[in-house]
Amino acid sequence: MAKLIFTYAVMNSGKSTALLQANYNYTSENKNTILISHKIDNRFGESVIASRLGYQAPCFAIDNKTNIFNYVKEQLESLEKVSCVFADEVQFFTKEQVIQLSNIVDELNIPVMAYGLKNNFKGDLFEGTATMLAYANEIRSLKQACFCEKEANMILRYEPNGKIIKEGEGIKVGAESMYRSVCRKHWKEGNLGPSIYKKLGVPDPFNK
């Protein structure tokens, strides 16, 4: 029976790598898959899902107006069968688009494996994530360690001078130079950890 499976984690935890590995498991057996991601994440170029390890695969890039269900249904006209739909960066999807993913499972009987962040740097759930948590048949998590070795489940956003940002635009694509995955305690403190302060060349306010 087809399922909607949601895998969430913090940044730099290997979400895209896990997606690409799962996709490879299908395609290596000559099974058709469909890969989808959001245009807002264009760090590695549009219409591509890429991991920091160098692996990548072409995908269909959507915006907030795309009807994902209709797109997949159209692909079925040329593909004999689709074994799985993979969706990356689903935190950027709208509520309606996450429901469309669930409709792919329920009406087309195609499994959907979705990957994304759980919460933003302000500690709030993304719209796509909140809907996914409500609609998914199965919820999984990828583990990442904070600099203190506890589980990292929050994201800090910071400026080049080390200042912590907890207000403002909720969606701003960036990489290690802007975000840091930490545990809840250090997120509350706004503590980036010694290695980041050293890298930025600024005093560590927690190690005076």
Residue 89 φ then ψ, to 5°:
55, 40
Beta-strand runs (E) in the chain: 4-9, 33-38, 48-50, 56-58, 60-62, 84-87, 112-117, 138-141, 154-158, 164-165, 179-182
Pairing, β 48-50 against β 56-58: antiparallel
Pairing, β 33-38 against β 138-141: unpaired
Clarify whether 89 is annotated catalytic. yes
Rounded Cα–Cα distance for residues 37 and 155 (Å): 21
In which order are the strands placed within the sheet that holds 138-141? 60-62, 33-38, 84-87, 112-117, 4-9, 138-141
Residue 138 φ then ψ, to 5°:
-145, 135
Q: Terminal CA-to-CA distance of the chain, rounded, Å?
A: 57
Question: Which of these is catalytic: 89, 138, 149, 169?
Answer: 89
Would you name the residues annotated as active-site residues?
Answer: 89
